Amino acid sequence: MLNAEVMVLHALINRLKRLSMRRHPHGLLSWRYLLPQLASPLMQHRAYWWHSCGTRSRLLWGLWQLYLWLRWLAFSSWRASYRTVQLHGPHVKKQHNMSQWQQFWRVQALALRWCIPPAAAYRFQLYRYPERALEYVYDIEAGAYHRLQSEALGLTKKSLQLLQDKQRLAEKLTPLGITIVDGYPVEFRSTNKLIDTLAGDGKFFVKTRSGNQGIGAFAVTAKDGQLQGKTFAGELLPDSKAVERAWQQLLQLDDALIQPLLTNHPALQTLTSADEAITVRVITQWYEQKLRVFTAFIEVPFQDIQRTVYSVLPITSAGAFARHPVEILDEQVAQRANTLWQHAQAIGLLPFWSQLIEQSMKAHQPFSDVKAIAWDWVLTPQGPTLLEGNTGWGTTMPQLITGPFLSK
């Protein structure tokens, strides 16, 4: 009983630590929200911010947001702007003949006026086009944006829970003829060692049963009773001790799933030297009571010095590769994107494209109350294998491909 109380106290302390480290309000926040009449984009951003409260006490949440807003205005935004301009400013100066001081004040003005993160201001080139700032949906408000979109269709908690639970989702979609990666579940806070849980030697991928964004996930190779691995972020786990530590940390988050490490289709493996799965994300959407593909893109991993980084290429409706949709922010990223584009041209069309689209639409069909779902696939030599479906997918790349969501 004492151990359980200690664990609850430890979880509460960790939660408070995460809250105290947060530097940004939950969305765009401005005193202008108090005005009696608001233009459409600003009204929508206010709705996203307000909807982020969820079921929490409105009063306590409002006070917490006020604290975060004042902290952002006084301290955090200045530091974030300075660091972001230091990172991207030299390249932008070379491209557009815009001094770093000019960049800083434009980015900082957006941060002060609307609480727009400086990194997002660079991704959408708002340092050049600040008038477009309110046309975009930012990742900090993506959760509320997606929930409001789906609530118009009668969103139910049952659908959200099913999509978040990778094991149950597999049980739902497999009878529909959709190939989804097998997973062996391990209960939350299990004390079993990973080496005793794995089915012999081989390569595996371990992740949370309900999480997203690769939090806590890692790849592992088991051979002759020894383990080596690498986290989803690219950090090496050089020995059994490091892998077992990562395993126990993951089990503190949620139930775990142990899956076979998938192999890329030979045509796609030429895109990268990294020994990791290349992911194809297909976003399907209900539009006028019919399903359609909203956008699709491929995420290719590259091993940087200490971490895994990703280059992205859009996929056209015909299954062909397209160029990265915006100017690249620094020379290293630009070089990697250009190299990827050149290799992709030699491939031609994406393997299994028509099957991939058909399977994505079929997977979305049971979820008539969810507006848009991002399906993550790995194209193996045998065909498409589904990893998971995401309802809270990031809004940055889709808007770079299709344009700002709120300008339509």
Question: CATH 3.30.470.20: which residues of the chain?
Answer: 151-179+263-407
Is the CB of residue 171 less than 8 Å from the CB of residue 215?
Answer: no
Three-class DSSP labels, 223-259:
ECCEEEEEECCCCEECCHHHHHHHHHHHHCCCCEEEE
Is the CB of residue 373 less than 8 Å from the CB of residue 286?
Answer: no
CATH label, 151-179+263-407, candidates 3.90.1170.50, 3.40.50.300, 3.30.470.20, 3.30.2270.10: 3.30.470.20
The letter for the amino acid at 53 is: C
302-339 per-position pLDDT tens digit: 877 667 788 899 999 999 999 888 888 887 888 888 88
Which contacts (CB < 8 Å, 24+ apart) does range 88-97 have?
Answer: 88/122, 88/329, 88/330, 91/329, 91/330, 91/331, 92/122, 92/127, 92/329, 95/327, 96/128
Packing angle of the helix pair 40-51, 142-151 (nearest 10 deg):
100
CA distance 404 to 408: 8
Tell me the average pLDDT across 132-154: 95
Helix (H, G, I), strand (E, B) or coil at 293: strand
Kindly tell me if the per-residue pLDDT of 187 is higher than 90: no
63-105 per-position pLDDT tens digit: 999 999 999 999 999 999 999 999 999 999 998 999 999 999 9
Tell me the average pLDDT across 48-57: 91
Question: Would you list the DSSP string of 32-50?
Answer: GGGSSS--HHHHHHHHHHH
Tokens of residue 204, six digits:
């595996």
235-259 per-position pLDDT tens digit: 889 999 999 999 999 989 888 889 8
Which pairing describes strands 256-260 and 279-287: parallel, antiparallel, or unpaired?
Answer: unpaired
How high is the pLDDT of residue 20? 54
Full-prediction pTM beyond 0.95?
A: no
If one counts every other C-beta atom within 10 angstroms of the C-beta of residue 15, the result is 10
- Lookup result for tokens 């990223």: 333
Grade residue 6 by pLDDT with cuts at 50, 70 and 90: low
